[in-house]
């Protein structure tokens, strides 16, 4: 969905802001016309909690990570997000994409799950040998169910680099610890190696906006 003209300027100046979004110690002065058009959840909240004319609506996100929320807010006003602006020594690029995917699903933010998935694919292709990759895989398996496309992506890149990741004398100690602590992941990698299913690692990510569906983030029970 094309962003309204001047959306990026509104983000910088906070002019005409009519809703505050609070997470942790940060507050963003946002606009219902921007966030509600792109998020079903924010639209429902704003409609149900309309304040008096003299008051401004305040949305407080208690369970979400500040850096990830910041990336989502930036996306809402720019249609894109810059990885370097939201990563740190505690949050790698690969982890950011994973967390942003789940956050976008949680708040039903249009197109963002696809954008995050696409960026995650590129990140895993390059950063498969980092600790951030291992943490991202652990999060994917903790929050998704069997056959989820993010699991398949993680397994594919792991299988391609399995000789180095699982080498007898490996420097990837955190990855190996994660694999031992995540039996479903280890089983999926073993199955992929046995069947060579990872050959099509560059397979196209499904674009839910084309199919008319929505991505899911709930773990199957």
Structural domain contains residue 216: no
The full DSSP string for 154-196 is HHHHHHHTHHHHT-SS-S-HHHHHHHHH-HHHHHHHHHHHHHT
Structural domain contains residue 217: no
> Cα-flanking dihedrals φ and ψ of residue 57, to 5°?
-70, 140
With cut-offs at 50, 70 and 90, classify the pLDDT of residue 2: low
Kindly report, residue by residue over 97-121, the tens digit of the pLDDT. 999 999 999 999 999 999 999 999 9
Structural domain contains residue 220: no
Answer whether residue 206 shows pLDDT above 50: no
**In the prediction, which pLDDT does 167 show?**
87
Domain that holds residue 49: 7-211
Residue 138: name the closest of 93, 100, 181 by CA: 181
Structural domain contains residue 219: no
Whole-structure pTM value: 0.87
Q: How many domains does the chain have?
A: 1
**In the prediction, which pLDDT does 151 show?**
96
Structural domain contains residue 2: no
The CATH number that applies at residue 191 is 3.30.710.10
With cut-offs at 50, 70 and 90, classify the pLDDT of residue 214: low
Structural domain contains residue 18: yes
Structural domain contains residue 70: yes
d(CA 101, CA 180): 25
Q: Are 12 and 28 in contact (CB under 8 A)?
A: no
Computed over every residue of the chain, the mean pLDDT equals 87
**In the prediction, which pLDDT does 45 show?**
92
Residue 109: name the closest of 49, 9, 21, 26 by CA: 21
**In the prediction, which pLDDT does 171 show?**
84
**In the prediction, which pLDDT does 49 show?**
80
Instruction: Report residue 21 as tokens.
Output: 């979004």
Structural domain contains residue 221: no
d(CA 216, CA 100): 13
């Amino acid at each position: 969905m094309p962003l309204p003209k001047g959306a990026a300027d509104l983000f910088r100046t906070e002019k005409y802001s009519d809703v505050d979004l609070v997470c942790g110690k940060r507050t963003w002065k946002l606009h219902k016309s921007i966030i509600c058009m792109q998020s079903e959840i924010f639209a429902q909240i704003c409609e149900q909690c309309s304040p008096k004319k003299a008051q401004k609506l305040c949305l407080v996100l208690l369970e979400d990570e500040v850096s990830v929320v910041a990336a989502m807010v930036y996306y809402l006003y720019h249609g894109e997000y810059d990885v370097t602006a939201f990563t740190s020594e505690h949050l790698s690029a690969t982890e950011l994409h994973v967390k942003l995917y789940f956050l976008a699903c949680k708040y039903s933010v249009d197109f963002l799950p696809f954008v995050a998935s696409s960026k995650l694919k590129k990140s895993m292709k390059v950063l498969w040998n980092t600790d951030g990759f291992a943490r991202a895989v652990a999060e994917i398996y903790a929050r998704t169910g069997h056959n989820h496309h993010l699991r398949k992506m993680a397994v594919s890149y792991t299988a391609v680099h399995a000789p180095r990741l699982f080498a007898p004398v490996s420097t990837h100690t955190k990855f190996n610890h994660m694999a031992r602590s995540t039996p479903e992941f280890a089983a999926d990698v073993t199955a992929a190696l046995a069947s060579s299913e990872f050959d099509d690692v560059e397979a196209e990510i499904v674009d839910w906006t084309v199919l008319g569906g929505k991505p899911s983030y709930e773990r199957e029970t």
